[in-house]
Structure 1
């Protein structure tokens, strides 16, 4: 543990001295280049104060472009433009330093192409810097949008929508959003509708029944191993039990109480609705009247 701590401390000091050395080299190079470019600007007609803009436009721009070029988070387009801008700025700075020293050594008058070229450097540097700033801003916006999309996708995956989060339907109301797929409700003049065959269900919850093999219905087997008769019996027991809150007219309430599929819940709801509509009409509408004794007058 002591060895690891010592190596970490040594590595930290190594990076510190490395950064200090890079800063010293950069500052000395900028100072030497700035002196030559400043003198070149004076030779081409710049004033005492404005002549300092030439070394800033070249040396500082080369340093900024190099930072954008080597940035690990920069996009490919921004990195390519920064690389080209850095190389161009370095080439112009080298040409300016070499030209000034040559003209000063041989006492040559400044030719007009040099004057025109030096005068065009500041506006060109301004346009290049603005373009680099726009690329960096667009790259930052793109990375922020990607981070927001990734966070939204992660929050959706960590908080899935579960069926148990659906608000329960109040007792005494019917779920109007459930499509009616069962038999039509019988009227007073229509005969009772026989219940669906055991082992046959609608939609994707269909099971085959065998005349020689009875379907097991253990209490812990889960909804996939219960027949429709078992579900009918459980629904009747749930309706009769005051401890269970179930609305037989709501498929969602039946599904949550019996833990069955939505198809069977709708079938049980339709059967209960049909049975409820038929029960008041079981008695004959013709009332029996006592017969009068034979031989008596009416």
Structure 2
């Protein structure tokens, strides 16, 4: 969800009837439109109305971030919004006194669930992601995939009756520099069951960056809403490779526990759907 003050909202090409009459000196919204509604693309939003510069608040559950573009005026404002959610999402605009100016629901389509193929030194694992349930987490993971971050990283923590964890260290056990941490999306309806993939984090809730883990057994105790671990997809092919990884011998190395004695390398990670 993205919330912005003194700016306005993403919306579809169809506009809803504004809730506030267009009277002199009163903030009103007459039209909200978007040039495109495409998952993980930037949408340019145009809002028309009166006295828009007097103070507007936006809640939009489809946007990761909204940025006002140059050239806005009191009667028209333009914004950029990266769409990370899919399905029907609500859009609400209010004035500074929290009076409703505009409400609508827009639909962000998804042609197919995105899939990522992870090539490891023990075989390939195909992961299907769920942006409807974990939009911020999926977008973050795909950003790392697209940048080539996961190339030549390792599974650095393997516990045979728990999970396999990777995506943060090189084969020399050097921790890689990551992007900013993301908001925790635990309690999203997805469970830490065998074959699911979730984000690893520190004891701080909103601390996940690049590291992930694949559950090798059902770990539903990790599902708590307030302090759990956010599941964002599942293994659809290659669970046998996960099972090969989970039984490799481990030791303590470089100050880390449960490190595979023989490196389990992530060669590449590519979005294949």
TM-score norm. by structure 1 comes to: 0.20
Which is richer in helix?
Answer: 1
TM-score norm. by structure 2 comes to: 0.21
Higher relative contact order (CA 8 A, sep 6+): 2
